[in-house]
Amino acid sequence: MTSTEFRIGGDLGVRRLGFGAMRLSTDPGRARAGALAVARRAVELGVTLIDTAHLYGGGANEELLAEALHPYPDDLLITTKVGVARTGPGGEWKLDGRPALLRDQVDQALRRLRVERIELLQLHRIDPATPLADQVGTLRDLRTEGKIGRIGLSEVTVDELGRARKIVDIASVQNRYSLLDREYEPVLAACEASGIAFLPWRPVAWGEAGATAGIAAVAAELAATPTQVALAWLLGHSPVLLPIPGTARIDHLEENVAAERLELTPAHLERLDRLYEAG
């Protein structure tokens, strides 16, 4: 039977099926009320891993989660990301991993999330204009100072992961990955070998019509939805995969969380793998 739990960094226990908060609206009025309700329902359903980022509204998403969920349940992990800022020409978003900026964004996240320590802090992207050692080294220093518990990376290659691990322990990787999108399979293999959590973003991505039909066929056999099949496949594919599907609707959230109870047989897994291999 597929395990439903994972210990990030070897000690921080979470349920493997998490929630991505990016789609939650931070606009005032009914949209915000709906977003607060979705976040609260996720916790009611037993979700213990919620992913956000400074990029999501310049910290507004972090503030929304704090409004919805603070004081937090003891078993809830809210992980956030830093390293993207409005520092481009004209104030547009750009990768920015300068140490002073990373420190400032971590301090902002601590204030917005109303916590004294971020148990898992991820570098949203590696900034090619700043030495990797400066970026990861800053996060290492923040961990030493007690502001960060564990450090993760996002959208990295095997080589980048290896270089970062020479500087500091890496507890998680957050790369794009799904049943039909496996560009980062080598990174997943590296994470498996070292017990590093892999948080696939865009975990449900549909490809060619034939592949979609194949997923729908498996779903029909199991009285499930194609989305549930895609999420169940991730949970069964590797024990280090921690999917974080996002939604702004409670019915979709409940559908996603229910995927944890869907058991795919070896025959189903083989059929689904063939869809990717034929793509």
Determine the distance from the C-alpha atom of residue 211 to the mean position of all C-alpha atoms in its chain, rounded to a whole number.
25
**Which member of 56, 72, 184, 276 is catalytic?**
56
User: Sign of torsion, CA 6 64 248 176?
Assistant: negative
56 is catalytic: yes
Residue numbers annotated as active site: 56
